[in-house]
Amino acid sequence: MTNHNKCRLLLLSSSRTVGTEYLEHAHDYLRSFLNARARTVLFVPYARVSRNYDDYLERVRTNFAAIGYETVGLHSFGDPARAVMQAQALVVGGGNTFQLLRELYANKLLAVIRQRALAGMPYIGWSAGANVACPTICTSNDMPVVWPERCEALNLVPFQINPHYTDTRLPGHQGETRAERLQEFAHANPKLPVLGLREGSALRIEENRIQLLGLYTARIFSYASAREITPREPLDFLISGNLAA
């Protein structure tokens, strides 16, 4: 079993929430999590399919500058693996999860990111960037507009995340709800629970402790059940595997 004791992860459901600008709701989370442990963050823009990487970097750079950090783009380095090895902190942006994972495989970055994160390098990801921290990307909401080498991802946490989780049913929609699809995954993969993370929420994970940040509950799907968890309740059982907790 992988030892996640040294992992320092901040996994956000989304880059924005109702009534806020891009990443604005996350500034306090980011500031508290980084806590001046790094001066520069390395940004991974690979999840973008149609937007220019430099434009994406600039959008993220503006937000990190607002909380006192410099941002550099991984795409500007000729040797991405070496850049990750030297990074003080890694930030993985959202977009299309399949595109992101394909580029991580193509650039041979999964092993080096995993090595650094397990050794304690701060890892921040939102949306697709939160998805790839999981064992697989099989609980993404995204369409597979491209296909990665495999669906196995970074495996920094021993559970799945569904970012942008909602239990809203559209009027007239006759297909399965998000909850029904995630329950199917949990039933088919009984050792791999799924945490549905609502917009504006985040998980802060340090030393095998998990804190749910934000105003909303999260929903945990396991083999035969689903339950709501409030930000005040402990989530450490997702690391220990004791789903009866």
60/113 Cα distance (integer angstroms): 20
Q: Specify if 1 maps to a domain.
A: no
Q: Is the pLDDT of residue 245 over 60?
A: no
Q: Is the pLDDT of residue 208 over 90?
A: no
Q: How confident is the model at residue 114 (pLDDT cuts 50, 70, 90)?
A: very high
- Are 219 and 212 in contact by the 8 Å Cβ rule? The answer is no
Could you tell me which residues come within 8 angstroms of residue 171 by beta carbon, excluding any fewer than 6 positions away? none
- Are 146 and 152 in contact by the 8 Å Cβ rule? The answer is no
Give the pLDDT of residue 126: 98
pLDDT 10s digits, 153-204: 999 999 999 999 998 777 887 778 999 999 999 999 999 999 999 999 999 9
Q: Is the pLDDT of residue 211 over 90?
A: yes
Q: Specify if 202 maps to a domain.
A: yes
Residue 142 appears among annotated catalytic residues: yes
Q: How confident is the model at residue 242 (pLDDT cuts 50, 70, 90)?
A: low
- Our count of domains for the chain comes to 1
Q: How confident is the model at residue 120 (pLDDT cuts 50, 70, 90)?
A: very high
Q: Which of 127, 140, 201, 222 is catalytic?
A: 127
Q: Is the pLDDT of residue 93 over 90?
A: yes
pLDDT 10s digits, 34-89: 998 789 999 999 999 988 999 999 999 999 999 999 999 999 999 999 999 999 99
Q: Specify if 3 maps to a domain.
A: no
Give the pLDDT of residue 2: 62
Give the pLDDT of residue 83: 98
Q: Specify if 2 maps to a domain.
A: no
Q: Specify if 231 maps to a domain.
A: yes
Question: Taking the CB of residue 31, how many other CB atoms lie within 10 A of it?
Answer: 15
pTM for the whole thing?
0.95
Q: The CATH number of the domain where 117 resides is what?
A: 3.40.50.880
Residue 167 appears among annotated catalytic residues: no
Q: Specify if 28 maps to a domain.
A: yes
214: tokens are 């934000």
Q: Specify if 59 maps to a domain.
A: yes
Q: Which of 25, 140, 164, 222 is catalytic?
A: 164
Residue 164 appears among annotated catalytic residues: yes
Q: Specify if 108 maps to a domain.
A: yes
pLDDT 10s digits, 2-23: 666 789 999 999 999 988 999 9
Half-sphere CA count of 115, side-chain side, radius 13 A: 11
Q: Which of 13, 14, 75, 142 is catalytic?
A: 142
Which residue range(s) make up the domain with 26? 8-240
